């Protein structure tokens, strides 16, 4: 299901297996459309400690969602009696094993062109940052062999020359909070060394460690650091809340959504939907029969248009960022933990390194709406939190 920023289910987006659940059944199941806080997912979007929901919110969620939906659908179509909790746990374990046992790494490595997109601009943006004196570091949960294979393909064989520090098998998000794990040096062939780490050096590979030791050894603290990640919880949440780093979220779906938003068909429908809403709001004060009849027709038209605007993005769930007029729950968490977000790190090529991203002033409910400012079309929309963000 899709949930908005205020924990309300967007009716028409609830699926059991591959089939939609009728709105009446959803309302009966949840005694309305609101999902209580105590059954929402935990801080990291997982189902734990009494929280019975899990938030699917990154690219690794796609295979898990597909497997859950298809197996669920298979059982229902063949009238197989099953316990949904067992199904969820088995699928969760299967997805975990694919990672932990290295199955995914071996599959990608065997056919890298199928699974990884070559990024010509990735090398360009990293080189630009490096040439302008930016200190760059990589913190990943993947093993070095896989990282080296992927980065060599995406960025080039010289990718390690662009980074001042490389940390693999970091075990994020524990890396950001657990002080107990020290750094360990790894050779290019994967052998672990025993020496105590007194300095994080360029050209070396380090395993595990923790952020507190990282801060002590580098001195890179607070708003001087801009850290990019594609998981708003595992990558960005702790850095924002606990350590005061600036954060950037990589949201690949943004590229497609902006293209749709820039089409004439979507722009016209969206503009008319907003205008229609304004007309209804202004005209509802008139209680004569003729005015009420007009308002009723407008409400009917508005209700018919809302699903159409949703289907522009995805027939089942609509936009990743919006549930009709409200932000999605994902969008709300994104705004909380990310200073800026974009479709790809290469979007930074569109900006000078002295560029400052200013937060957009969004009118509050008691403020007059601002006049719309036409912006040039682009592939990324920076969206800072309410502080001025600088790439300097």
Q: Please report the pLDDT score of residue 56 as a whole number.
A: 85
Q: Please report the pLDDT score of residue 362 as a whole number.
A: 80
In angstroms, the CA 105 to CA 146 distance is 6
3-state percent breakdown (helix, strand, coil) of the chain, nearest 5: 45, 10, 45
Residue ranges in 164-235 assigned as alpha helix (H): 211-218
User: Which SS3 state, helix, strand or coil, does residue 205 take?
Assistant: strand
- Token readout for 358 is 């200013």
In angstroms, the CA 238 to CA 174 distance is 10
Determine phi and psi for 72, rounding to 5 degrees.
-55, -45
Q: Please report the pLDDT score of residue 378 as a whole number.
A: 42
230 annotated as a binding-site residue: yes
- Token readout for 277 is 């809403």
User: Which SS3 state, helix, strand or coil, does residue 304 take?
Assistant: helix
CA angle 112, 114, 119 (to 5 degrees): 70
- Token readout for 378 is 């682009």
User: Which SS3 state, helix, strand or coil, does residue 100 take?
Assistant: helix
Determine phi and psi for 16, rounding to 5 degrees.
-115, 115
User: Which SS3 state, helix, strand or coil, does residue 318 take?
Assistant: coil
Q: What is the pTM of this model?
A: 0.85
Region of residue 364 (phi > 0: left; psi between -120 and 50: alpha; otherwise: beta):
beta
- Token readout for 91 is 């699928």
Q: Please report the pLDDT score of residue 40 as a whole number.
A: 81
Determine phi and psi for 205, rounding to 5 degrees.
-115, 130
- Token readout for 312 is 């522009």
- In 3D space, the residue among 344, 345, 373 whose CA is nearest the CA of residue 358 turns out to be 373
Instruction: Write the DSSP assignment of 127-177 as a string of letters.
Output: HHHHHTT---EEE-SS-HHHHHHHHHHHT-TTGGGG-SEEEES--TTGGGT
- How buried is residue 81: exposed, middle or buried, by Cβ count under 10 Å (0-12/13-18/19+)? exposed
- Token readout for 259 is 């293209």
In angstroms, the CA 86 to CA 66 distance is 17
Per-residue pLDDT of the chain (392 residues; tens, 9 = 90+): 999 999 999 999 999 999 999 999 999 999 999 998 888 876 666 666 666 788 888 888 888 999 999 999 999 999 999 998 899 999 989 988 998 898 999 999 999 999 887 777 888 999 999 999 999 999 999 999 999 999 999 999 999 999 999 999 999 999 999 999 999 999 988 899 999 999 999 999 999 999 999 999 999 988 889 999 999 888 999 999 889 999 999 999 999 999 999 999 999 999 999 999 999 999 989 989 999 999 999 999 999 998 888 899 998 999 999 998 899 999 999 999 999 999 999 999 999 988 998 888 888 888 877 654 444 444 444 444 544 444 33
């Amino acid at each position: 299901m899709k949930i908005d920023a205020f924990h309300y289910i967007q009716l028409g987006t609830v699926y059991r297996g591959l089939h939609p659940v009728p709105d009446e059944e959803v309302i009966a199941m949840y005694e309305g459309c609101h999902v209580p806080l105590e059954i929402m997912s935990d801080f990291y979007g997982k189902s734990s400690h009494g929280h019975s929901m899990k938030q699917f919110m990154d690219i690794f969620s796609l295979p898990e969602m597909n497997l859950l939906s298809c197996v669920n659908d298979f059982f229902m179509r063949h009238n197989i009696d099953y316990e949904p909790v067992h199904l969820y746990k088995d699928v969760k374990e299967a997805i975990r094993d694919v990672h932990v046992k290295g199955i995914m790494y071996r599959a990608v490595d065997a056919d890298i062109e199928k699974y990884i997109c070559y990024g010509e601009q990735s090398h360009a943006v990293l080189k630009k940052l490096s040439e302008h004196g930016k200190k760059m570091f990589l913190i990943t949960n993947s093993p070095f062999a896989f990282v080296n294979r992927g980065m060599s393909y995406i960025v080039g064989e010289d990718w390690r020359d662009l980074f001042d520090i490389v940390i693999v098998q970091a075990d994020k998000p524990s890396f950001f909070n657990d002080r107990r794990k020290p750094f360990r040096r790894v050779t290019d062939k994967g052998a672990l060394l025993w020496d105590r780490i007194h300095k994080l050096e360029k050209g070396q590979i380090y395993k595990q460690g923790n952020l507190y030791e990282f801060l002590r050894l580098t001195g890179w603290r607070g708003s001087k650091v801009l850290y990019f990640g594609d998981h708003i919880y595992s990558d960005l949440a702790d850095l924002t809340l606990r350590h005061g780093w600036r954060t950037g979220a990589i949201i690949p779906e943004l590229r497609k959504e902006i293209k749709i938003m820039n089409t004439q068909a979507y722009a016209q429908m969206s503009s008319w939907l907003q205008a229609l809403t304004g007309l209804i709001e202004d005209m509802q004060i008139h209680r004569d029969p003729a005015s009420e009849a007009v308002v009723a027709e407008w409400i009917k038209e508005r209700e018919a248009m809302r699903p159409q605007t949703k289907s522009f993005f995805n027939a089942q769930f609509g936009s990743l960022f919006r549930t009709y007029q409200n932000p999605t729950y994902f969008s709300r968490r994104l705004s909380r933990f990310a200073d800026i977000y974009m479709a790809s790190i290469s979007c930074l090529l569109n900006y000078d390194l002295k560029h400052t991203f200013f937060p957009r002033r969004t009118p509050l409910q008691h403020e007059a709406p601002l006049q719309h400012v036409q912006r040039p079309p682009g592939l990324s929309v920076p969206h800072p939190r309410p502080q001025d963000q600088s790439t300097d």
